[in-house]
Amino acid sequence: MKRLRVEVCLVLAGLVSLSCGTLQMNLQTTVETSGDITQEVKLVANGLIAAAAQQDPLVDAEAARKEGWEVQSQASADYFEQTLRRTFRRSETLDMVLLPDVFSSGTATEGMAGGEPRITYYMRDLILIKDYDLRIQIPPSPGVNEEVAGLGGEADQAAMAMIETMLSISWTITVPGEIVSTNADRWEKNSATWDLSLTTLEKGRQLDLKARYTNWPLIIGAGAGIVVLVIGMVLGVRFFGRRKREVHQAPGIGE
């Protein structure tokens, strides 16, 4: 009977979440070949959440711009999208702030922003090969689930299920070259994605990625240059050798 009540609560939570809408938070960290990093935060809401976001935006755009972020927004009756983007030069990456400190209080993203994720980033430049080593540490945020705690076991499960259904968070890192190793949930050649949840934010998580970029254009260009140089040297030796023989074989004056 208890199991049945729990399942009913979870179904009701799902129905409530569908009527309220959803909120997606997609974070994108892009590493350029030069070592510069572009950080993007994209918030997408629909349904009643979108309507609420239009009345009370998730991010204070003016404050974000003062921090150096580019802000773009678009909205319709039941859709709201806000994108923040900022590029950090290689010399600035030690002090990178991966999220703007302007999330409105009480929003679903406040817990993530308050966690202050930080990046540890190292690039080894060997001219022909570049190695990238990134680690993003999302510290534990025990207060994330406090708002839904204390309602009772079944109610807590229903509330958490509703919020998990409404809220989707992912973090993608894109690098030059190919990924050598990562602990991402899914990845392809040069892009890795971690799927986050309220439980993840509460416990914290570490995002690790190592990649290697091989500068094939430079290698091919250098190889072609060496081949041309060798061919030129061979032709030069043969040319001057033939000229030398012609001088020795030329008849003297008066003969």
In the predicted structure, residue 129 carries a pLDDT above the cut 70: yes
Span 102-116, average pLDDT:
48
State phi, psi for 169 to the nearest 5 degrees.
Answer: -130, 130
Confidence band of 228 (pLDDT split at 50, 70, 90): low
Neighbouring C-beta atoms of residue 105, cutoff 10 Å: 7
Structure tokens at 46: 């629909």
Does the pTM of the predicted model rise above 0.85? no
Tokens 């983007």 label which residue? Answer: 85
Span 239-249, average pLDDT:
59
For 103: left if phi > 0, alpha if psi spans -120 to 50, otherwise beta; the answer is beta
